[in-house]
């Protein structure tokens, strides 16, 4: 691997450490973020790539998103205390994570270590995914706000993992029409584990909406054995990669 974008959820805090590690390993690191947005009562994730992290507008958005994350984490912890018959779930997950705004994957790890679930996936299916007892909807920013903030920081706005939202072809195309209208730039199309049908749909979409394309592993932890960081399928022929003109040899 020669180039990597760090796109943590709603935070830029990991970038200084990542840049130092990237220098040690001769990797080109792209400043990124994965902003959580709410559109028509559903949550989506929009990547911002090549960001000016000193941009005040982006910093204000990150602060607001982090406050929302803390409030959500406290409520997830309260619900897990009741649903999983645990005590101090929020505080114990914060200690495990080293942050006061742990996301659901860290609550999943806490549940696994507490012996309440078999693994990460079981934690989501039993407690943490939408419709389950510890799922908490969050008042994220709008699609338009997220894209405007990314652009204000000089970045490229990309829809992350479009196959993960479980939308029909019609619904995905409707959302992408809104994404494009709001100024969205690109679509993640090269990811591990896509079926031929998913690949064909994403090929149709980036062409129809004239979007750039990107590749991503959605890698959160080495414990996710089913994700191979950096081992991605090639982007489609004829597509415009988001890194075109951005990277130097």
Cβ neighbours of residue 152 closer than 8 Å, sequence gap 6 or more: 55, 57, 58
Distance CA 229, CA 91 (A): 31
Contact 174, 181 (CB under 8 A): no
- Domains for the chain: give ranges and CATH numbers: 3-63+141-215 (3.20.20.140), 67-128 (no CATH)
pLDDT of the residue at 248: 57
pLDDT of the residue at 225: 74
pLDDT of the residue at 1: 86
Per-residue pLDDT tens digits for 35-85: 999 999 899 999 999 999 999 999 999 999 999 999 999 999 999 999 999
pLDDT of the residue at 228: 72
| Chunked mean pLDDT (size 10), the chain, 249 residues | 92 96 96 96 95 98 95 97 97 94 94 96 95 93 98 98 94 98 97 92 97 92 76 91 79
**Strand residue runs (E) in the chain:** 3-6, 28-39, 42-49, 156-159, 186-190, 212-215
Contact 138, 62 (CB under 8 A): no
């Amino acid at each position: 691997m020669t180039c990597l974008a760090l796109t943590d959820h709603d935070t830029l805090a990991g970038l200084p450490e990542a840049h130092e590690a990237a220098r040690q390993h001769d990797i080109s690191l792209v400043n990124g973020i994965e902003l959580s947005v709410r559109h028509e009562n559903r949550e989506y994730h929009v990547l911002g790539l090549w960001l000016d992290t000193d941009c005040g507008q982006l910093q204000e958005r990150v602060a607001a998103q982090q406050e929302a994350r803390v409030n959500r984490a406290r409520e997830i912890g309260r619900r897990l205390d009741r649903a999983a018959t645990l005590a101090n779930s929020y505080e114990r997950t914060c200690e495990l994570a080293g942050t006061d705004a742990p996301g659901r994957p860290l609550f999943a790890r806490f549940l696994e270590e507490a012996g309440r679930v078999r693994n990460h996936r079981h934690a989501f299916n039993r407690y943490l995914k939408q419709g389950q007892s510890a799922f908490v909807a969050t008042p994220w920013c709008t699609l338009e706000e997220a894209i405007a903030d990314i652009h204000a920081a000089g970045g490229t706005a990309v829809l992350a993992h479009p196959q993960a939202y479980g939308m029909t072809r019609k619904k995905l195309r409707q959302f992408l029409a809104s994404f494009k209208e709001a100024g969205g730039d690109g679509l993640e199309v090269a990811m591990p584990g896509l079926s031929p049908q998913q690949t064909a749909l994403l090929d149709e979409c980036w062409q129809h909406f004239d979007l750039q394309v990107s590749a991503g592993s959605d890698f959160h932890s080495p414990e996710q054995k089913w994700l191979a960081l950096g081992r991605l399928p090639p982007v489609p022929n004829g597509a415009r990669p988001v890194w075109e003109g951005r990277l130097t040899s």
